Amino acid sequence: MPLPSDFAQKYGPWALVTGGSAGIGLQFSHQLAAAGLNIAIAALGEEELIKAAGEIREKYGVETKYLLVDLTSEDGWRNVVESYDDIEVGLLVNNAGIETHGSLFRDPVEKHVNIIDLNCKALVALTHAFGRRMVDRKRGGIIFTSSLLSTPAPFFATYSASKSFVTSFGRAVREEFIRYNVQVTVSEPGIVESDMSKNIAKNMDFSKSGFSIQKPDDCTLSFQMFRGGGSKKSAAPEGVKTEFVFADGAKDDVQLSGDWNDWKAIQMFHEGAGTWSVVTPVPPGPHEFKFIVDGEWKHSERHPTIGIDETSLNNVRYVLPEPDLGSSEDTRSKSGHRPQRRDSRASSASVDSSASRRKKGTGFFSKK
């Protein structure tokens, strides 16, 4: 399925694909070029790089750049950051990777260390550099190529551990970046037809494993996330994206809990100056929520407030999503006053009846 025609406009003019001249990375490069993005590739293998860049440029009529670089070294990933500093990278595909298999002692220790340097260190460095720019621009996307072997796998010990890091890091970054309109997804392909899998096949027999060999283009389904907001595995619950903010001085840890998710704790993120926030979908209300501060319910002796109150410390907050608030407006008006709720009087009975039963949080929210 082709990508939307406005894909480049939505995310940015350039895609940077590490390992983008072969295997899964090459398929990412082709699909993004077909969507109208210019392609920058960072990889080893000069012949493959030149060939991939030329074919993509000729086939799709986009600009291409390529950089012959070894990302297992700090000089390598710094070279990528500096070389592509003059272009707006709207999509970063962290795809480059290496593996080792067999007994832990089959290969010299340097190869195991190189796996961590490339699969983990370089990935973090590039995400930090280009992700910061996306956050500043309030648009962009990042794809992490992990693996089904991201769980402990004997005879793939270092490789599977590195991919576990990729999955964990990618999912955490997704929660941090979502509030800035930067989408992140983690792809976990199985055994893919590539030079890497051919190397594995020379030494290991997968004929009775139950695994099927995937084509590289089967593994670019990560783009489903960018078409519709997430894969089935990681799709967020339905509802209005709502930002919750806790602003009551410096704390060590703050979590959000609400009745719409059975009061399960949602980790909030520290923004500095004693302010914590998180964006999460909330179905149509009314709803109650509370904050868990350093492991304790935040509460006061005062009665709950109906609607939005950004200044006082109260036991219960009620989320009452209304279409007239819009999808991106802050809950405060330009004058700084909170909007009036047309249904506040009708809601007062349910608010008061629940106030005596719970001691809940403090803070405010805005609609996203």
Please say whether the beta carbons of 40 and 14 come within 8 A.
yes
How far is Cα 125 from Cα 112, in angstroms, rounded to an integer?
A: 19
- Do residues 160 and 128 make contact, with C-beta atoms less than 8 angstroms apart? no
Q: Which distant-in-sequence residues (6+ apart) come within 8 Å of 292 by Cβ?
A: 254, 255, 256, 257, 265, 298, 361
Terminal CA-CA length for the chain: 29
Residue in this structure with the two tokens 């007994």, named with its chain if needed: 103
Token pair belonging to 357: 């039963």
Active site residue 367: no
Alpha carbon separation from 268 to 1, 240, 292, 294 (Å, rounded): 36, 18, 10, 12
Q: Is 163 a catalytic residue?
A: yes
Helices assigned H by DSSP within the chain? 7-11, 23-34, 46-60, 74-83, 109-116, 123-137, 157-177, 195-201, 223-228, 344-355
For residue 286, cis peptide bond before it (omega within 30 degrees of 0):
yes
Catalytically annotated residue among 60, 66, 163, 298: 163
Any idea how long the chain is? Answer: 368
Two structure tokens written together for 155: 């005879």
Cα-Cα-Cα-Cα dihedral sign, residues 68, 70, 71, 76? negative
Residue among 60, 84, 159, 318 flagged as catalytic? 159
Active-site residues, by number, are 159, 163
